């Protein structure tokens, strides 16, 4: 009797080498002019050859599938980056907030990327968005201070959401992450603007530097509430969007 091949879980990889070894053993032990033994060894050899071909074909299929997944991922990230840039251009001021601070919803596509492919993908979308903005729109300072600030704000907002979602994989994780992300972005950008970005603006614009009190007032009455409002509005929009796309997003994450 020819025993059945050993099959493992997953891609059902067969122990082909074991078959080949047993074929050799049977061939060496075949008595002269033994037709039954000859047929048995022949069947063993054919089985091993077919299993080897099947295994090679399966590996080739795995490689093609992996390549297809990578291509699909690049296409989705490219689309989300382009959409994020378009949304960045559709900005508007908030009453009571300094007019140079304008809200947009360009973090929404980056959040989608971070949920589907992980936090690094969200940061890639943020990076491409700001790179496109700098190359197309330029910067008043000549260097991408504003784009860098936008990228850091997006990073502080997106990372908590992505990490909480991949931990809980439900709406509760999304909501908790959005709350944490809003707080982290608001507080983090308040400190970074006070110590880094606002001084950089005045430096590269060659304008008089703000005093410590003026900088503090601008941060407390402008930048801090602006990021809080932006985080809350973006969060509300994203929760609605997530509930509409929950099945598709969770299915993509599971793939």
pLDDT bin (cut points 50, 70, 90) of residue 250 is confident
Structural contact between residues 174 and 164, judged by C-beta atoms closer than 8 angstroms: yes
Q: Per-residue pLDDT averaged across 61-90, rounded?
A: 87
Alpha helices in 90-144 (DSSP H): 107-117, 119-137
pLDDT bin (cut points 50, 70, 90) of residue 14 is very low
What's the distance, Cα to Cα, between the start and end of the chain in Å? 41
Q: What average pLDDT is seen over the chain?
A: 82
Q: Per-residue pLDDT averaged across 211-239, rounded?
A: 95
pLDDT over 90 at 221, yes or no = yes
Fold for 90-254, please state it: Arp2/3 complex 21 kDa subunit ARPC3 (1.10.1760)
Give the residue, 100 or 14, on which the prediction is more confident: 100
pLDDT bin (cut points 50, 70, 90) of residue 5 is very low
pLDDT bin (cut points 50, 70, 90) of residue 61 is low
pLDDT over 80 at 197, yes or no = yes
pTM above 0.85, yes or no: no
CA distance 198 to 229: 20
């Amino acid at each position: 009797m020819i025993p059945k091949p050993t099959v493992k879980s997953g891609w059902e990889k067969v122990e082909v080498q074991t078959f080949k070894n047993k074929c050799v053993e049977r061939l060496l032990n075949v008595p002269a002019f033994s037709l039954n033994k000859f047929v048995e060894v022949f069947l063993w050899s054919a089985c091993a050859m077919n299993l080897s071909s099947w295994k090679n074909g399966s590996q080739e299929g795995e490689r093609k599938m992996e390549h297809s997944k990578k291509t699909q991922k690049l296409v989705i990230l490219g689309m989300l980056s382009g959409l994020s840039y378009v949304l960045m251009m559709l900005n508007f001021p908030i009453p009571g907030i300094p007019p140079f601070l304008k809200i947009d919803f360009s973090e929404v596509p980056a959040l989608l990327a971070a949920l589907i492919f992980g936090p690094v993908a969200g940061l890639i979308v943020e990076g491409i968005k700001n790179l496109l903005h700098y190359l197309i729109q330029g910067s008043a300072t000549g260097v991408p201070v504003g784009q860098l600030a936008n990228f850091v704000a997006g990073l502080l907002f997106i990372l908590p959401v992505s990490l909480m979602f991949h931990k809980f994989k439900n709406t509760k994780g999304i909501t908790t992450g959005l709350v944490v992300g809003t707080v982290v972005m608001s507080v983090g950008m308040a400190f970074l603007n006070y110590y880094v970005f606002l001084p950089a603006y005045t430096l590269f614009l060659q304008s008089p530097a703000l005093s410590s009190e003026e900088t503090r007032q601008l941060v407390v009455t402008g930048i801090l509430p602006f990021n809080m409002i932006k985080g809350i509005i973006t969060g509300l929009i994203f929760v609605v969007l997530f509930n509409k796309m929950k099945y598709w997003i969770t299915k993509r994450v599971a793939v």
